[in-house]
Chain A
């Protein structure tokens, strides 16, 4: 067991982990931050996406030890200070961008990273960026629409929601 410390959603946390403990496991099991989901074992689905030092990262594809000292953001830290949904979260609700909700934390975290680097992405850019995020429920229509809406674009001409 090795001690690991990091900042998660602005709080300093630490815990004892094995060398093989994944960041996703550390967040879920040690910190009980179960909003980060695990949907695969081949780093393909994106349900586990978190931010590490501002970058979108698949937390199932990173060892907890590798995140030692890092600044980590998870879905639990995304809402506004007053607890209301942030712009992206609100757009997902407004445009029905989620059904079962299992892919949703990863989608929201990926969307945030996308909008940071590309504040007004086109449909094609959104779809390309989400390549690493699988959703089995929505057929992606409302996810793409929600992300475009969150970027301030008028999505009313996109087929019904």
Chain B
């Protein structure tokens, strides 16, 4: 089988993994012969579905001995199989990298033979890249659950980021849909990596030449919509992963039905993209906006609001805290204003240090007032009468598109009333990578 065919099969098999980020690691080129990693990452292309292409994302092999029901590489599926040699893969990575197609490699694998054998092959590919080519670009590698801890350790010394996929949000679902995997198998390497990172941080301060261990941290992914867990359950799980395991990112992947199985949603189920989108928005609030999961979601209403994004939802149920005065509100509070993001809040803080802001200035700073205007004052003035009750507020926020208008915000809502492509276009934009 030639490399062309292998690449086709092994990228096809890897595409359902949502993560493609190349951020979080700074490696200077002086560390190697070729390549450097930027802390902010870089997307070199976007797929036809609008997701960022930053890394060469492939499986080492798709010849799996396991039989996870939701996966196209499972043992019982009739699908062509291929396996890269470590050297082939390393060379391909370098050639793509030189041409500025990619930032690096995202290497995952099906379980070929045993977890150990699989990991050894992956490690060999990374070793060739790092040692023989002197590659200092970004590498994200999947740790294979069930492999010897020594191998996970070695993988961590070669990669910038390591991830272990949670796959399904509960042990029960794992048991029924991924019978070869166990919660323990997944959490064990996660804990190992977490401790490895902590120890490494200490060592680095003590000894100058300590090699870096997983400098970009670890991440995970779970499939949404293949099993019955609620958003409430998922967001609390996410929060504990951030807190307990110090994860850098949790990815959500809307389940795309690929096979018929009584335990899975039927084949004509559409991937729950809107739900995935809301989860990413909520996740964003956890990571960058200082929210707690319990503020975002209520056990009595365990699913995120489909029509209103989680930040608006929160604001609408806390109308007493608004309006806030942009000239004096602290940064954390500005971040909680619907329509003001991290960039906007930072610009406001920078600009108001030197002068008092009015609404014209806000516009010049690029603040979109469509939603924000209901929640702020500027020098004591409001731009519009502020709705007094939560119901009226929701009505005002959604009003333009109820009347058929296309607002930047309203576009997204359209899809709820008519299943047209445009709604999803907008949704998809936000789900891939922020």
Q: Do A and B come from one complex?
A: no
Tell me the B residues contacting A by CB distance below 8 Å: none
